[in-house]
Every structure is written in C-alpha cells, then in structure tokens.
C-alpha cells in the first residue's frame, strides 16, 4: 500500500525541492504559527514551529513540514510584513554573515522526528539601488530574511553548508528521515547534499 505523503507547505520552492526526490505528494497549507520574540534558542524555535505545522495533519499519512529562520547576532529575521521591513532587513544583512536554520519535522503513525540544518551565509555588498529594485519586484515578501539565495538578485556572496537548506528544505536531512521509516526516494542523497555537516538534533520537550 502506497503511503500518502503530504507536504505541509504551499511554498513553491519546497515543492520544487521535493520533486527532486521523485516522490508523489500533495501540498497543503498549514496554519502558520506566530514567530514570537524568542524565548527559545533559534534552533529550538524553528523546530517547534515545524512540529506545529506537521501535527495539524497527523494521521492523514506521512507529513513533512519545515520552518526556516534567518538569524544574525541573535536577532531573528522572519518573512517581512511590509516593503519597509524588507528594506530594513536587507540593509541589516548586507555585507555580513548570518545563519540560516531550517528545521524539518516528519510525522507518520505514532512517530515524530525533528532536526535542523544550519548554513552560514555571507551577503555581498549590494547597492541600495539593487536592493530597492529587488524589493519592488515583490520577490522578498514570502521569504525569511527577505531574500532568496536562488533569486536573480543574487544577494549571497558565499555560504558554508547546505544550499538547499537556505532555499528552504534540506533534502539530506529529509532523506535520512524517510529512510528511517522505510520510504525510498529515487535519489539516495541529492548531489547538492553530499556534504552537509551541520545537522542539529532537537529535543523539544
């Protein structure tokens, strides 16, 4: 019997990454948790938010959820709520390093697995003109930190760790979870994930 696979996300980027695994799945929109002023460490917060999304659909099949946070000097940069906030975020991130944390939660039957991947990202010194053009395009508005590493704007100078983690779904981590419950993808380990050393095991209790 084929297990129904549900991606608890309507992100086109996460769906595109999932398709690389050759698995049949459907995307559903979860209720988004609030991003509180951090009473948890950012890694724990990302984990709790991913679990919150996954558990909304528990019992309907194999559920995959993720949550991405951009963090610089302890400050969390969620999706911008306005054009002005996007501009502010991009100015604060410009020319420096930050961490991208994506937590992945998978639930199937009685099991719940959650871990996070960390990537260090260094932003280039883009000009205000470039920044404003990018914001005016609308592209940053549905992305944590107000940017996408894959966007034509090319805001990233360099990174250390998993590229797909910055896009929003570290397939290396997801594949490990799927193998542990006997789900085989067409791709054992995605080539982009052949060396992703910064997996953090999470205990949310």
**Tens-place pLDDT, residues 56-93:** 999 999 999 999 999 999 999 989 999 999 999 999 99
- What's the confidence (pLDDT) of residue 186? 67
pLDDT digits (tens, 9 = 90+) for 42-56: 999 999 999 999 999
Phi, then psi, of 173 in degrees rounded to 5:
-70, -45
Report the catalytic residues.
Answer: 67
Residue 141's CATH number: 3.90.950.10
- What's the confidence (pLDDT) of residue 182? 86
Contacts of 107 (CB under 8 A, 6+ apart): 54, 55, 58, 62, 63, 113
Nearest to 24 by CA among 54, 55, 3: 3
- What's the confidence (pLDDT) of residue 188? 62
Nearest to 104 by CA among 167, 62, 142, 49: 49
**Long-range interactions of 147-154: CB distance < 8 A, separation 24+:** 147/89, 147/90, 147/93, 147/123, 148/13, 149/121, 150/13, 153/126, 154/124
Q: pTM for the complete prediction?
A: 0.88
- What's the confidence (pLDDT) of residue 205? 45
- What's the confidence (pLDDT) of residue 123? 97
- What's the confidence (pLDDT) of residue 32? 80
- What's the confidence (pLDDT) of residue 197? 54
The mean pLDDT values, 10 residues at a time, for the chain of 205 residues are 89 93 93 64 92 95 96 93 97 98 95 94 97 97 95 94 92 90 72 54 50
For the chain, what is the domain count? 1
Domain that holds residue 78: 5-201
- What's the confidence (pLDDT) of residue 11? 93
């Amino acid at each position: 019997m084929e297990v129904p696979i549900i991606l608890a996300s309507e992100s086109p980027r996460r769906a595109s990454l999932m398709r690389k695994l050759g698995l049949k799945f459907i995307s559903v929109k979860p209720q988004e948790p609030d991003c509180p002023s951090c009473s948890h460490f950012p890694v724990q917060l990302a984990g709790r938010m991913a679990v919150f999304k996954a558990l909304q659909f528990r019992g309907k099949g194999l559920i995959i959820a993720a949550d991405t946070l951009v963090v610089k000097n302890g400050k969390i940069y969620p999706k911008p709520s306005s054009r002005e906030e996007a501009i502010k975020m991009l100015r604060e991130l410009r020319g420096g390093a930050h961490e991208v944390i994506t937590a992945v939660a998978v639930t199937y039957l009685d099991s719940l697995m959650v871990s996070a991947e960390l990537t260090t990202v260094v932003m280039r010194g883009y000009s205000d003109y470039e920044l404003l053009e990018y914001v005016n395009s609308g592209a940053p508005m549905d992305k944590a930190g107000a940017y996408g590493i894959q966007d034509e704007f090319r805001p990233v100078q360099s990174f250390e760790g998993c590229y797909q983690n910055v896009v929003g779904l570290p397939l290396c981590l997801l594949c490990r979870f799927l193998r542990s419950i006997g789900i085989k993808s067409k791709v054992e380990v995605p080539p982009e994930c052949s060396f992703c050393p910064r997996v953090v095991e999470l205990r949310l209790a």
